Each structure stands twice: as C-alpha cells, then as structure tokens.
Amino acid sequence: MLTLPAFEAACEAVKKVTQETGLIYSKYFSDHTGNKIYFKPENMQLTGAYKLRGAYYTIGTLTEEERQRGLITASAGNHAQGVAYAAQCYGVKAVIVMPTTTPLIKVERTKAYGAEVVLYGDVYDQACEKAYELAAEHGYTFIHPFDDLRVATGQGTIAMEVIQDLPLVDYILVPIGGGGLATGVSTLAKMLKNNIKVIGVEPSGAACMKASLENGKVTTVSPVNTIADGTAVQTPGTKIFPYIQKNLDGIITVDDEELVVAFLDMVENHKMIVENSGLLTVAALKHLDVKGKKVVSILSGGNMDVITMSSVVQNGLIARDRIFTISVLLPDKPGELVRVSQVIADKRGNVIKLDHNQFFSTNRSAAVELKITLEAFGTEHKKEIIQALEEAGYKPKQIRPNL
C-alpha cells in the first residue's frame, strides 16, 4: 500500500542523495498559455533525472542479505543511473540491462557509477525480460523501474516538494512511461490536497497507459515508436495500475514533432537541456484546456546525447520556419545568382547553403536549378522572402532542407 507514513519516510531518505529542484516560473509559457506555468527541473539532479529518488528509497528498504546478493534492473537509461548510483552509495553490485537503442551518454554514465551494463533488445520490455532471466540465474535482487510500490513511493516525493513550494497548485503534469512517477505523484498529491488535478502525458507512439485506462485493464501496445526513449514502454505496471485508475485525472498524448519544438523553446527561453521524455509535459501545456490556473510541469530528465541534441535542434529550427530551403530556376547567364542574392539580402534573409545545378535541364540557356537554404526569423519572415522572390519574377518552390 502507498501510505502517507511511507511517503514521509521516503522524503527524508531521498534528501541524502537529491539536490533541491525548486520550481522555476516560466513567463514565456505563461504568456503563451494563459496560465501560470512552473517547471519542476528534475533534469538538474545529480544523475540527470528523478529516477534516483525511487531507486535509493527502494534499496534502503531491502534487507542486507537482499542487497549483498547484488542488484539488477532493466532501464532505458535514467532508472539505470539511479540504481547504479544508489548501489554505489550502499557499496553493492549493480547489473543493468539496457536496450541496444539507449543513447550512448546514458550507457556511459551508468558504467561510470560502477554498474555492469548488458545491452539487450530494441525496447525496454525486451531488456526487462533479459533482466529477469539474469536475476533467476545469478540470484540478484530485482529493482523494477516502475511496477514496484516502493519505487513509486520514492518518485512521489516530488509531489511533496511541489506542494511545499506552491501550496495553491491547480495542475501537475507528469510524464508517463510505465507509470511509476505518475502513481507516486498522483497518489501523494491526492492525499495532501484532493482538489489538485494530476494529468499524465505520454508520447502518442507509446501510449500504453491511455490504452489501458480506456480498456479498464493493463494493455500492451506494440510496436512503440517515439523519440522519447525514456517513455517507450509497451506495457504499464500491473501493481501500480489501480492507483493510476483512482488518482490520475486524465491523459494527454503528444506527437514527436511537438517534442522537437518544445526542446527549442526550452533551450532558447530557459537555457535548459531537457530530454525528449522530460519535454512531454512542456509540449502538453498547449493541450491543457484551462485558463488562469497554476500549472507545474515535471521535467523528468535531461540525459540527451549530443548527436540526438543536434538532430532535434535542426528539426526544431525547420519546424519553426527558422531554416527553410527553396528551389528556383534561373537562366544560365552571368549575374543571375547575384540578382537572386540581392533580393534575399534586401529582405534580411541569411543564406547558409547553396546548390547550383547546371545539369537540371538539357537546355542550359533556359534554366538551371538553384537550391537555397536560408535562415529566417520565423514563418512571417519566410513568407516575406518568398514573396519578394515571386515579385522579382522567380517561382520559388519550397522543398525539404537537407542539412
């Protein structure tokens, strides 16, 4: 059972390993949503995510014999680091099974905390099956990343901190993968203040909790396909599901494209790196159909590798029309490139890439193709540049940028 005394004990325990992540008010998102938006930046934790809370509290409740057998878990990364760090604190062995698709930064940091890492399967669920096999084979103590009431209790300590910082909070948005965080936060929030609304947020490509709530039973979604690797779970937890049914006030699903834009918003407006799963609650803000409310979005983690980050930034700039590519046809004669460049310069467009193809047509005197990749201030500026080219006698065609 998830009880208030257990939550209170967990709150005291996690103080030993967590950093204070006070709420951050967001003027940018408040202005854009009509609500007062606050962020709970769990991406600032030592291990880069909230998962340390549940891992440390759970390991602390084990017997010495259970700890000395060695610990094992399966994780797409953040729970892995939480267990590895907590095991290091207790001086015991930890084996972590991670999907082969786990970002390199999460694998390396897990190893850096002294854990043995086994890469197996394409998704979390396959890695979890392997972890159970190894636990049975070697006698390890299994620490489930979400379907464990002790783990959920540790994660729920976030709700205590949110309410202490913002007693009049109206809504708490929580990312959902398997449901451990949502279970802990929603259950404790309702215990402390029943009128708080707790909304879960899932990637639309891995919405197993939404499907489960709609079906009234734990439901597997397969395949899962999302850039939010930390929440790419096929089946939610069975032990925690009754608590979700009782305490969660709704589910919002978010498309991957929305996460890309949310990443750019957080970098530019808050100078914060938040991983795709942590951005779920940021992207969900525009789907929340309320006004004038105090809303807390939990940023669950910030462990994103540089290659993924680069790709997300580029795609975010494209989605915001900050970078775009057009194709125009020009007569193959001196001065035409200068003429096009002048039109763009007059509208303050910044050329970042050119591709001049003289072999576009067999009749070179009639037309050659010029592909221009430009940087703009946004959609309206892009339209101004395209209109100026049209007025200059060109017929620009917008195409997908190839950076």
The total number of structural domains that make up the chain = 3
- What is residue 166's predicted lDDT score, i.e. its pLDDT? 98
**Which pLDDT belongs to residue 308?**
85
Q: Is 147 strand, coil or helix?
A: coil
Position 358 scores a pLDDT of 67
Establish how many alpha carbons lie within 13 A of residue 371's alpha carbon, considering only the half-sphere containing its beta carbon. Answer: 14
Q: State the Cα–Cα distance between residues 5 and 13, nearest whole angstrom.
A: 12
**Which CATH number does the domain housing residue 382 bear?**
3.30.70.260
pLDDT of 125: 85
Catalytic residue among 40, 297, 300, 382: 300
Cis peptide before 223 (omega within 30 of 0): yes
* Residue type at 30 in one-letter notation: S
Whether 51 is catalytic: yes
- 15, 19, 41, 172, 246 from 161: Cα distances, Å: 11, 12, 12, 12, 22
Same domain, 45 and 174: yes
Residues 132 and 210 in one domain: no
Catalytic residue among 36, 40, 51, 190: 51
Question: Are residues 226 and 182 both part of a single domain?
Answer: yes
Same domain for 204 and 284? Answer: yes
Q: In the annotation, is 106 catalytic?
A: no
Average pLDDT per block of 10 residues along the chain, 403 residues long: 95 96 97 98 95 97 96 91 96 95 86 95 90 97 96 98 98 96 98 97 97 97 91 94 97 97 95 96 97 98 88 90 92 85 94 79 68 94 95 91 79
Return the pLDDT at 361.
Answer: 59
pTM for the structure as a whole:
0.88
Q: Which domain holds residue 91?
A: 51-142
> Is the same domain home to 305 and 376?
no
Q: In the prediction, which pLDDT does 305 show?
A: 83
Query: Are residues 111 and 163 part of one domain?
Result: no
